[in-house]
Amino acid sequence: MQIPFIKYNHQKQLDELPKISQDADKYRILFDPKAYHLALLDAINNAQYRIYIVALYLEQDEAGSEILAALYQIKKQRPNLDIKVFVDWHRAQRGRIGEEKTKTNARYYYQLKKENPNIDIPIFGVPVNRREVLGVLHLKGFIIDDTVIYSGASINNVYLHKFNKYRYDRYHLITNKVLANSMVEYINSNFLPFEAIQRLDVEKHKSRKQIKPEIRALRQHLTNISYQYTNEVNNQTLSVSPISGLGRNNSLNKIIRHLINSTQQKVIFCTPYFNLPNILVRDIIRLLRKGRQVEIIVGDKVANDFYIPEEKPFNISGGLPYLYEINLRNFIERLQTFIDKEQLIIRLWKDADQTYHLKGIWVDNQWVLITGNNLNPRAWRLDLENGILVHDPKQELKDQFIKELNTIREKTILVNHFQQIQASQFYPNHVHKLIKRLSRVKIDRIIKRLL
């Protein structure tokens, strides 16, 4: 008697989630990073009254400079335009691994401000925790007028496919005034009033120690808030629901579990790093035992943004793709019988030396979650995450979602047996030694929780 109650409860939670009506003609999916790059620039150049950029980082490379130049240009043309940029406070104040410590994004923002003294485009740093490793700003969604441009991508050359390299993601353009207003209100109400939020486009920044209490207050606040909007529709109408989450028992985590456990036919996952929280592994196994179909599309280790080619200097972060691959091999070996029955489908994405950054969940051709959540322990507990849940009961967006999935699958291979995944004993010698050393002292478990 208890199992039907659990099943009913998950579906009931989705049915009762507040929803915003969405016009199908105003929902557009793009299928490659170059198209996304052009669409983002076009939206900025045609903005009429507001531009809110929220990203993990806005890099000081050619693509980042192009976006910032577009922002300064449109602000010059339309001085009353409300433009605000929010990035992770920690990430903006450190250089890339291996670069000079003084070469930071924050310093670049300050230089731009000095070059444009009469144009004020505030760039704010958001410290989600006292240290970057313990939590970052991982919210997604650029709000330009009444359109939400939602992608897992940050802003730099590889995400926007500026040159030869790209990092593949999802690219959704949703024109919806209520949705856009709710996301702007979230930022204005839950970021700007807090003293932990610091401008980065200034000469001197406060130290982490100086704002330690303010960071703690901000994090505590962010664990207890959500997007505010009025429920507009019933469950027979195309709708969108923005959801935020920070901490283990947050709203986004709960929705992810409700989605998975309400599956009646098939659920599809995309994640760049195969490092699922244990609770999601248990949910997937439960679905398989019930006869549901599960498809997981994950990046090959070579398509991981932490992957370091053998000819380049190696560091500990370069071991992560191998740790994730070990997870995947063990997972497949454990569930090989379901793969043999074609009930569990595993696809590996790889396109030469390009990288893969896709996240999301598709359920029964009715529910689709677009999110920046990596479906890993870090996203589950540490980072400030969000997502937009699309409910499409009449399948008005079905063709776009099918095309999106088919485009993703084009660069994948089907894994029919765990032995298709390279065993750790065949890794390069320096990688094998690192993993063996980490495993011996169980540090690999800690690393997988934090990265």
Q: What is the pLDDT of residues 222-267, one digit of tens each?
A: 999 999 999 989 899 999 999 999 998 999 999 999 999 999 999 9
Query: For this structure, is 357 an active site residue?
Result: yes
Same domain, 366 and 250: yes
Residue 232 lies in a domain: no
Rounded mean pLDDT, 193-203: 97
Asked if pLDDT for residue 446 goes beyond 80, the answer is no
Query: For this structure, is 385 an active site residue?
Result: yes
Position 437 confidence tier, pLDDT thresholds 50, 70, 90: confident
pTM of the full structure? 0.95
Residue 13 lies in a domain: no
Q: Which residue of the set 385, 392, 404, 444 is catalytic?
A: 385
Mean pLDDT of the chain: 94
Domains of the chain: total:
2
User: In the chain, what is the straight-line distance between the N-terminal and C-terminal CA atoms, in Å?
Assistant: 40
Asked if pLDDT for residue 131 goes beyond 60, the answer is yes
Same domain, 206 and 340: no
Same domain, 282 and 375: yes
Give pLDDT tens digits for 416-428. 999 999 998 899 9
Same domain, 247 and 218: no
Nearest 5°: CA angle at 205, between 202 and 209? Answer: 165
The residue out of 187, 222, 257 marking a domain boundary is: 222
Query: For this structure, is 169 an active site residue?
Result: yes
Share of the chain above pLDDT 70, in %: 94
Same domain, 212 and 336: no
Same domain, 247 and 214: no
Residue 52 lies in a domain: yes
Phi, psi of 368 (to 5 degrees): -135, 130
Range of the domain at 143: 24-222
Residue 265 lies in a domain: yes
Query: For this structure, is 333 an active site residue?
Result: no
Same domain, 308 and 371: yes
Q: Which residue of the set 10, 37, 138, 172 is catalytic?
A: 138
Same domain, 381 and 410: yes
| 3 state SS of 22 | coil
Residue 290 lies in a domain: yes
Decide which of 390 and 311 is more confident: 390
Q: Which residue of the set 169, 283, 392, 444 is catalytic?
A: 169
Q: How far apart are CA 302 and CA 355, in angstroms?
A: 8
Looking at residue 379, which CATH number applies to its domain?
3.30.870.10
Same domain, 360 and 245: yes
Give pLDDT tens digits for 314-349. 888 899 999 999 999 999 999 999 999 999 999 999
Give pLDDT tens digits for 87-101. 999 999 987 655 556
The residue out of 222, 257, 281 marking a domain boundary is: 222
Same domain, 214 and 351: no
Residue 4 lies in a domain: no
Q: Which residue of the set 357, 383, 391, 404 is catalytic?
A: 357
